[in-house]
Amino acid sequence: MILEGKLKKYKILITGGAGFIGSHVVRRLVNNYDNYSIYNLDALTYAGNLENLKDIEERPNYTFLHGNINDETFINSIFDKFMFDSVIHLAAESHVDRSITDPLVFVKTNILGTINLLNAFKSLWFDNWDGKKFYHISTDEVYGSLDDLDLFLETNPYKPNSPYSASKASSDHFVRAYGETYKMPYLISNCSNNYGPCQFPEKLIPLFINNIIDDKELPLYGDGNNIRDWLYVIDHAIAIDLIFHKGENHNTYNIGGFNEWKNIDLIKLLCNLMDDKLGRAIGNSQKLITYVKDRPGHDRRYAIDASKLKTKLGWTPSVTFKEGLSKTIDWYLSNQKWLANINSGEYMSYYKNQYSEL
Ligand code: NAD
Ligand code: TYD
């Protein structure tokens, strides 16, 4: 059981807390649970940004630890020092296109880094797992690509198609295996595509918002008919909080928005919302849509059946897609400095390489 009001605070290690989803999870737990000490471990790769957490960095129940999950010695040392009661593991290389260019980085962080955490956690608590849990945050992409009618269920076989999803699938298997072999208490959730404030502008929605602001081409892969199921990031953070506290040990939960969109339709909606907010003629930004060569191995459709989470734990998304998209656009429009800081250095050379045909 999680201790409340005891002298020793319950310590939760959140990995990847300076990233997109991690920062929303850290903020939620720091704000909602004074009885926890929240430790945010992040290597601050190109995707990690402490600006995402400025509002909570001075809070007494929050500590930032700068370090890499691939560094086994460092990981063991912080587990020895702080004796974390639980782990919520989000740190990962997360972008499919980068995984196609450089799969090994994904193997190192997503697989080996996860194993370093599992080993350190096991060494600490193997004799008595009481009140401990390892919560691994994963993706629906491990299930592969869907035909028109099916939905991903927790019982679906894994069929990852990209180096990214293969590395996440592998880490999911290791977490489950530690649960079976060492009786480590664990939870896994597999979520659909997230969008919202603080997402790095290499993913579809923030990239296209950024390009529309700058009047740049919108590079749509293939025929634009690929389908994704979109969830507002704060709804993902709410689900993670709920699963961490109420999820059943040794269980997997799918999280999704019940919200499937073809890329081309989503982009047209985004263009029109942006035209409206920027005072441009409706239809203007759609002219920026540029079909480019398809992503290799591009999964056709993802769609989550989140009914287990809904019926067992009572979770449903709190915002509609239009509301979430509108809030997201507003955030990017009023955080131009955040974008400007990113639009330099490593990211621009990635962009030039990835979109060389534009
Ligand atoms: P992100 O790329 O925005 O952030 C990843 C964070 O991990 C960054 O802060 C980065 O600095 C940190 N990190 C990377 N390598 C590290 C290492 N070796 N050691 C320590 N820290 C490291 O990713 P995100 O979109 O916030 O995704 C977070 C998690 O959620 C990932 O595990 C991802 O697979 C999963 N997920 C993402 C989505 C999505 O749509 N973005 C959907 C489902 C699941
Ligand atoms: P992305 O945001 O990279 O997420 P994922 O590949 O994990 O689903 O891409 C979402 C969809 O948008 C996917 O079908 C690929 C497509 N896409 C483009 O058409 N153009 C782009 O420049 C990017 C980054 C993605």
Annotated catalytic residue within 140, 154, 172, 229: 140
Closest CA to ligand 1's atom 44: 139
**Cβ neighbours of 279 (radius 10 Å):** 6
Ligand 2: centre distance to CA 231 (Å) = 14
- Residue among 110, 202, 221 to mutate when testing ligand 2 (max atoms within 8 A of CB): 221
68 CA: nearest ligand 1 atom:
19
Return the closest-CA partner of residue 240 out of 226, 257, 253, 231.
253
pLDDT recorded at residue 352: 84
**Cβ neighbours of 197 (radius 10 Å):** 20
Return the closest-CA partner of residue 23 out of 47, 3, 58.
47
The ligand minimizing its distance to the Cα of 267 is 2
CA distance 249 to 134: 10
Question: Could you confirm whether 164 is annotated as catalytic?
Answer: yes
The residue type found at 317 is P
Annotated catalytic residue within 42, 85, 141, 154: 141
For 75, counting Cβ atoms within 10 Å of its Cβ (0-12 exposed, 13-18 middle, 19+ buried), the class is buried
Return the closest-CA partner of residue 94 out of 215, 183, 191, 6.
191
345 φψ region: left (φ > 0), alpha (ψ -120 to 50), beta (else): left
Q: 47 in ligand 1 pocket by Cβ < 6 Å?
A: yes
Q: 109 in ligand 1 pocket by Cβ < 6 Å?
A: yes
Ligand 1: centre distance to CA 19 (Å) = 6
CATH of 11-194+231-257+300-318, one of 3.40.50.150, 3.40.50.720, 3.90.1150.10, 3.40.50.620: 3.40.50.720
pLDDT recorded at residue 345: 67
CA distance 194 to 209: 15
Ligand 2: centre distance to CA 66 (Å) = 30
**Could you tell me the sign of the dihedral formed by the alpha carbons of 160, 97, 217, 324, in that order?**
positive
Distance of CA 155 to the CA centre of its chain: 21
Q: 165 in ligand 2 pocket by Cβ < 6 Å?
A: no
CA distance 272 to 218: 14
**Could you tell me the sign of the dihedral formed by the alpha carbons of 169, 171, 174, 179, in that order?**
negative
Q: 231 in ligand 2 pocket by Cβ < 6 Å?
A: no
The ligand minimizing its distance to the Cα of 203 is 2
SS (H, E, C) the chain: CCCCCCCCCEEEEEECCCCHHHHHHHHHHHHHCCCEEEEEEECCCCCCCHHHHHHHCCCCCEEEEECCCCCHHHHHHHHHHHCCCEEEECCCCCCHHHHHHCHHHHHHHHHHHHHHHHHHHHHHHCCCCCCCEEEEEEEHHHHCCCCCCCCECCCCCCCCCCHHHHHHHHHHHHHHHHHHHHCCCEEEEEECEEECCCCCCCCHHHHHHHHHHCCCCEEEECCCCCEEEEEEHHHHHHHHHHHHHHCCCCEEEEECCCCEEEHHHHHHHHHHHHHHHHCCCCCCHHHHEEEECCCCCCCCECCECCHHHHHHHCCCCCCCHHHHHHHHHHHHHCCHHHHHHHCCHHHHHHHHHHCCCC
Contacts of 307 (CB under 8 A, 6+ apart): none
Ligand 1: centre distance to CA 249 (Å) = 23
The ligand minimizing its distance to the Cα of 302 is 2
Q: Which residues of the chain have pLDDT under 50?
A: 1-6
Question: Could you confirm whether 141 is annotated as catalytic?
Answer: yes
Q: 228 in ligand 2 pocket by Cβ < 6 Å?
A: yes
Ligand 2: centre distance to CA 193 (Å) = 9
pLDDT recorded at residue 339: 86
Q: 290 in ligand 1 pocket by Cβ < 6 Å?
A: no
For 262, counting Cβ atoms within 10 Å of its Cβ (0-12 exposed, 13-18 middle, 19+ buried), the class is middle
The bridge status of strand 62-66 relative to strand 36-42 is parallel
CA distance 57 to 75: 22
Taking a C-beta distance cutoff of 8 angstroms, is the pair 190, 15 a contact? Answer: no
Ligand 1: centre distance to CA 121 (Å) = 20
